[in-house]
Copies of this chain bind each other. A is one copy, B any other.
Amino acid sequence: MVGYGPYLDLIDDLIVGKERVSSGMRRELDRAHAAVQAAEAGRLVAVVSSGDAGVYGMAGLVLEVLPEGSPVEVEIVPGVTAASAAAACLGAPLMNDFAVVSLSDLLTPLDVIERRVQAAVDGDFVLALYNPRGRRRVEPLRRTLASLRACRPAGTPVGLVRNALRDDQHTSVTTLSELREEDVDMLTVVIVGNRSTMLRDGRMITPRGYPVEAAESAAEPS
């Protein structure tokens, strides 16, 4: 079982008696190498990510590290990515086209992040922001909010979900103008509505486009 220590701890009861190889944050490359090395030595290895391993997770890194033509078989098991988990906590903000952007500039240059955010704003995508703010990494969020505030109405709903679907989950809903940088941290997923997203009874809803009002009287539930 290869993974970031705290993630392995989360599935403690599922991996009793299994050998564990854990390493700290930012040691992803080491973990990928450890997993491939053990698999090439004939071991049955599981690499654990949080959310969906295929979305900013370990799946790609393991495939990148795996030598071309390696006989090791890799099965990727998809999961519930943080955008889906956070959306479920907030209501249904992802009912229409959406873009997922990581604001971490550790691996992606800030100008690329900025260009992507602007493109998502231009396309009126609902926007799910991963890694929105680090302790010393505030600039990407600041620029993102500036782009959004220049192009979307002040009342655009914004949802913040910290530790989605974990014990210490915290959910809040605000608007683009009222969102405060300090309310966002590294463990928060931020979902910004598009021009149609509304707030109702505290929930974010992005209409899919069905003629809900018109059909209400005509509907014949069977």
Contacts and interface: CB of A to CB of B under 8 A. Distances in A.
Interface stretch (A9-17, A58-66, A133-141, A174-182): A58-66
Contact of A122 (B29, B119, B124): B119
Interface residues of A, number: 76
Contacts of A206: 60
Contacts of A222: 21, 23, 30, 34
Question: Copy number in this complex?
Answer: 2
A64 B120 CA distance: 25
B52 A216 contact: no
A88 B79 CA distance: 9
Nearest to A102: B97
A90 to B, nearest CB: 9
Contact of A80 (B23, B78, B212): B78
Given A123-B115, A210-B28, A216-B33, A205 B63 contact: yes
Interface in A63-118: 63-65, 68-70, 76-81, 84-85, 87-88, 91-102, 106-108, 112, 115-116, 118
A201 interface: yes
A203 interface: yes
Of A33, A59, A92, A165, chain B has the most CB atoms within 10 Å of the CB of A92
A54 B87 contact: yes
A60 B92 contact: yes
Given A102-B97, A122-B122, A212-B29, A84 B60 contact: no
A220 interface: yes
A57 interface: yes
